[in-house]
């Protein structure tokens, strides 16, 4: 399994991150030959910031390091803990699964978020991880009938709420709905995500509220999304200095509508006309700057980090994932996205120092999953590579069941590398052995 990483910074220890307290003074007593610390005069962080960078590979920290400044990724790595021997122990490594696993601290078999979309064997249909039609959109006409109800366990944000007798605020924000909703947990004060298309606003669900707070409305009315989409995306530093990635024009990158080559510069004002308007902002580096703007607005608007309780802001940067899917991991566009994200992080940390105080907040940064080389690029290097053929696999499985059991209807659904059996058909054809009956009987209890 691929490596993931977690960075934590500032004066609080790892044990404090996973649960508890900053220590000012302590004494040690010896009991049953174990040292047990008696903690006194404890101080909690005023604000916890959880950052997930969507599709960030661990090696981006190293590969692009000479282009990073001292105030972003490097500040986090030098000032805190860098946990680089961390592994995924589940598949598939998709966005919803990653965010749920990070924040619940457990795996899909327990938290229930087994993919972004999956086949629900009880409802007999494909569902989306955060869809919930019991709720309506807040702040627009569509895109907000959502909740975290399909996540079956608590998150660290829920546990923080419970530990403080429901005091303190917990909020999730992201361009992607699932990346805001799942980290914020079941007891969240709110979660906000960006609705693209012709809407171009941060919205929410009636699961959390009946109307957008004034500060969110104000943010939407400022028109920042339009400001970014009136800019031209060029490389932050001269493109000749980006020697860690493939030539800008290569055969392994996707094209925006309206472009003949996958190359800088990107005139966003023109491209938005043929790339579903505000959706374009999600798929360029400025989506991270826009998310940072909203994170700062959230902290000010909700007065986070200013009460006697600990608040938690979960921020997920979605744009690196869109850029990665469009251009691949070896693209100049990905390199520039991370160089610019480094600048956004520096700005955000300086903001936090000023707004919350340098030693008053705890921050971690990690990724929900990574990505591999574009298969066609690997193949060009004679490295065996390709895509899993879902349809071909289903035909293959159906042919096997036809050969052995005289039916090609024994498999109900194949998705996310999971096979769902058609149990009623299996029963109807009397294919269950006595051993299976016993197993099912025991499993029921």
Q: Which residues bind Zn ion (CB under 5 A)?
A: 54, 95, 321, 368
Least distance to Zn ion, CB of residue 369, Å = 5
Euclidean distance between CA atoms 62 and 243, whole angstroms: 14
Residues 225, 281 contacting (CB under 8 angstroms)? yes
- Closest distance between Zn ion and the C-beta of residue 319, in Å? 11
Which of 25, 28, 95, 187 is flagged as catalytic?
A: 95
Minimal distance, residue 183 CB to Zn ion, in Å: 12
Q: Which is nearer to Zn ion, 10 or 322 (CB)?
A: 322
Q: Which is nearer to Zn ion, 80 or 328 (CB)?
A: 328
- Pure H helices in 14-72: 14-17, 60-63
Closest CB to Zn ion among residues 185, 320: 320
Residue with tokens 């991270």: 288
Residue 293, CB-side half-sphere exposure with 13 Å CA sphere: 19
d(CA 84, CA 100): 20
**Residue count (the chain):** 445
H helix or E strand, kind and range, residue 267: strand 266-267
Give the residue with the Cβ less far from Zn ion, 160 or 181: 181
Interacting residues of 221 by C-beta distance below 8 A, sequence separation 6+: none
DSSP element (H, E) containing 295: helix 286-301
Q: What is the DSSP letter of 197?
A: B
177/368 with CB nearer Zn ion: 368
In the complex, what is the shortest distance from the CB of residue 64 to Zn ion, in angstroms, rounded to a whole number? 19
What count of Cα atoms within 13 Å lies in the side-chain half-sphere of residue 416?
A: 21
* Cβ-proximal residue to Zn ion, closest one: 95
95 assigned to active site:
yes
* Smallest distance from Zn ion to CB 321, Å: 5
- Neighbouring CB atoms inside 10 A of 412's CB total 16
- Calpha distance 116→96 (Å, rounded): 5
Active-site residues, by number, are: 95
């Amino acid at each position: 399994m691929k490596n993931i990483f977690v960075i934590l910074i500032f004066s609080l220890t790892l044990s404090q991150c996973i649960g508890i307290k900053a220590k000012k003074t302590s004494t040690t007593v010896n009991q049953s030959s174990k040292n047990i610390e008696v903690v006194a005069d404890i101080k909690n962080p005023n604000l916890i910031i959880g950052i997930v960078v969507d599709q960030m590979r661990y090696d981006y920290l190293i590969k692009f390091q000479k282009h990073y400044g001292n105030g972003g990724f490097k500040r986090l790595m030098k000032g805190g803990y860098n946990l680089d021997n961390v592994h995924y122990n589940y598949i598939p490594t998709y966005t919803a699964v990653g965010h749920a696993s990070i924040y619940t601290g457990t795996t899909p078999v327990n938290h229930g978020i087994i993919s972004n979309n999956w086949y629900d064997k009880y409802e007999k249909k494909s569902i989306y991880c955060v869809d919930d039609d019991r709720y309506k959109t807040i702040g627009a006409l569509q895109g907000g009938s959502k909740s975290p109800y399909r996540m079956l366990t608590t998150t660290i944000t829920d546990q923080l709420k419970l530990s403080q007798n429901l005091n303190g605020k917990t909020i999730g924000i992201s361009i992607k709905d699932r990346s805001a909703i799942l980290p914020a947990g079941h007891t969240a004060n709110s979660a906000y995500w960006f609705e693209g298309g012709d809407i171009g606003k941060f919205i929410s669900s009636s699961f959390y509220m009946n109307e957008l707070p004034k500060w969110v409305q104000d943010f939407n009315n400022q028109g920042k999304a339009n400001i970014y989409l009136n800019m031209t995306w060029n490389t932050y530093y001269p493109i000749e200095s980006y020697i860690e990635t493939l030539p800008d024009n290569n055969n392994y990158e996707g094209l925006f509508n309206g472009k003949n080559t996958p190359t800088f510069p990107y005139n966003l004002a023109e491209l938005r006309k043929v790339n579903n308007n505000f959706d374009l902002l999600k798929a360029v580096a400025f989506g991270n700057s826009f998310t940072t703007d909203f994170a700062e607005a959230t902290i000010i608007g909700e007065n986070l980090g200013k009460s006697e309780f600990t608040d938690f802001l979960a921020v997920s940067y979605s744009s690196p994932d869109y850029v990665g899917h469009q251009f691949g991991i070896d693209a100049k566009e990905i390199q520039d996205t991370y160089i610019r994200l480094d600048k956004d992080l520096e700005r955000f940390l300086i903001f936090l120092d000023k707004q919350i105080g340098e030693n008053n907040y705890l921050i971690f940064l990690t990724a929900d999953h990574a990505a591999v080389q574009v298969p066609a690029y690997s193949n060009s290097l004679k490295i065996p590579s390709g895509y899993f053929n879902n349809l071909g696999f289903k035909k293959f499985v159906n042919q096997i069941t036809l050969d052995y059991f005289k039916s090609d209807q024994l498999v109900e659904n194949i998705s996310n590398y999971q096979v769902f059996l058609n149990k009623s058909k299996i029963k109807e054809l009397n294919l269950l052995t006595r051993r299976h009956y016993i197993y099912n009987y025991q499993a029921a209890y």
